[in-house]
Structure 1
Amino acid sequence: MRCLLLGFTVTVSLLLMSCSSDIQDYADSTPRFALEEYFQGELSAHGMVQDRSGKVLRRFTVEMVGHWDGNKGTLEEDFVYDDGELQRRVWHIEKTAEGHYIGTADDVVVPAKGQTRGFALNWRYTLAVPVDGKVWEINFNDWMYQLDERRVINRAEMTKWGFKVGEVTLWIERNI
């Protein structure tokens, strides 16, 4: 029984690792995604939250304002959900090296560590998410792809205990 359980665990781990993209896959792509350039000024986004089977649970819009001073930035996000709920998140982002970022916010339990290569950004962090009157710590594997100077597609897989629990998809546009 112990061998069977170990074999199952190894198999599941290998499958999960094989599903992950590597940021290096995008090293030669353009445009070059620099958070301090893209998230400067006013932006708008439209998105949705899906459960693990793909069913849309919520839709939302986000108004964002980004400010950068050297290697430190602030991104203010104001969410309006389709059920009328309002939510605000303020990210504090620091560029620690070329293409490397750290981000924090009040509901971010484990700080976001991000890396850019080419037109892609990958953030990984843990967020405190209210669910049915309780707060769950959900892990995010968050990918952003800059299509051009105005548009970014953002897709985040949410996991708990190593299992996919949902996904968030956003379309972000700079208000130029």
Structure 2
Amino acid sequence: MSLVRRGLMLPFIGFLSSCAVSVHDYKQRTPELDLSSFFHGQLEAYGIVQDYRGRVIRQFKADIVADWSDNKGILDEVFYFADGEVQRRCWQLTKDGKRYSGTAGDVIGTAYGEASGNALNWRYTLAIPVKGKVRHISLNDWMFLVDENNLINKASMSKFGLGVGEITLNIHKLSNDAQRELSPDCSLALINRTK
């Protein structure tokens, strides 16, 4: 590439990077999102998975039970896909002011997120089975609190920096009281023992 072309590209790349959305862009938006308040009790979610072209490739419903003790939280999620597959995920969360960290069995390492206003942005890598192989997919996961009982969640998936799909779901809080017990392998007692 010639020096002239490189010289023209650098300002353009700088411009693109300055256009990135930050969670702090939402600091004035209400209602304020606090994971320990919204994700407490019984919740349900309905969502879709889209491929890189935007085509819907999966639909699901999720049953979520959440509990918190001080700054430690558990999200016990059961996903029911339209094709009959059932997946479980147990998030173990830690809250530090407006920052959150979390682990789960299919999350590689630790997820890190920050809340501001009505939004939260998580970043993590998820191990996803694809055609008999496990792929490590990066997620840029956004949550937006619409009102005290409804949250929109949209996650962009990428591999090697290229978009491979999106997950969109509406999470609805049914009650502050759980309608089922936490799974035996997903409890606050387990978090407190391992920390």
Equivalent residue for 1:92?
Answer: 92
Contact 1:137 1:160 survives alignment (8 Å): yes
Residue 110 of structure 1, CA deviation: 2.9
Measured at CA, do residues 53 and 68 of structure 1 come closer, stay the same or move farther in structure 2, by a change above 3 Å? same
User: SS of the residue aligned with 1:147?
Assistant: strand
Equivalent residue for 2:191?
Answer: none
Are 1:167 and 2:175 an aligned pair? Answer: no
Equivalent residue for 2:36?
Answer: 36
Listed one character per residue, the Cα deviations across residues 86-117 of structure 1 (whole Å, up to 9, x for unaligned) are: 00000000002x11000100100031101000
CA RMSD for the aligned pairs? 2.3
Are 1:25 and 2:25 an aligned pair? Answer: yes
Measured at CA, do residues 126 and 171 of structure 1 come closer, stay the same or move farther in structure 2, by a change above 3 Å? same
Equivalent residue for 2:140?
Answer: 141
TM-score by length of 1: 0.91
User: SS of the residue aligned with 1:37?
Assistant: helix
Question: For residues 18-167 of structure 1, what are the structure 2 equivalents within 5 Å?
Answer: 20-96=20-96, 98-167=97-166
Residue 148 of structure 1, CA deviation: 0.4
Task: Tell me the distance in 2 between the aligned counterparts of 1:147 and 1:105.
Answer: 26
User: SS of the residue aligned with 1:175?
Assistant: strand
Question: For residues 2-17 of structure 1, what are the structure 2 equivalents within 5 Å?
Answer: 17=17
Residue ranges of structure 1 left out of the alignment (5+ in a row): none
Task: Tell me the distance in 2 between the aligned counterparts of 1:12 and 1:59.
Answer: 38
Task: Tell me the distance in 1 between the aligned counterparts of 2:29 and 2:112.
Answer: 21
Task: Tell me the distance in 2 between the aligned counterparts of 1:44 and 1:123.
Answer: 20
Task: Tell me the distance in 2 between the aligned counterparts of 1:141 and 1:31.
Answer: 22
Aligned length: 175
Q: Which of structure 1's runs of 4+ aligned residues deviate more than 3 A?
A: 1-4, 9-20
Residue 123 of structure 1 aligns to which amino acid in structure 2?
A: W
Contact 1:46 1:171 survives alignment (8 Å): yes
Measured at CA, do residues 55 and 72 of structure 1 come closer, stay the same or move farther in structure 2, by a change above 3 Å? same
Task: Tell me the distance in 2 between the aligned counterparts of 1:87 and 1:20.
Answer: 32
Task: Tell me the distance in 2 between the aligned counterparts of 1:50 and 1:16.
Answer: 25
Task: Tell me the distance in 2 between the aligned counterparts of 1:80 and 1:43.
Answer: 14
Residue 86 of structure 2 aligns to which amino acid in structure 1?
A: L
TM-score by length of 2: 0.82
Measured at CA, do residues 60 and 18 of structure 1 come closer, stay the same or move farther in structure 2, by a change above 3 Å? farther
Bigger shift: residues 44-53 or 19-28: 19-28
Task: Tell me the distance in 2 between the aligned counterparts of 1:63 and 1:79.
Answer: 7
Task: Tell me the distance in 2 between the aligned counterparts of 1:173 and 1:84.
Answer: 22
**Larger strand percent:** 1
Listed one character per residue, the Cα deviations across residues 55-105 of structure 1 (whole Å, up to 9, x for unaligned) are: 001000000000100000000000000100000000000002x11000100
Task: Tell me the distance in 2 between the aligned counterparts of 1:102 and 1:59.
Answer: 27
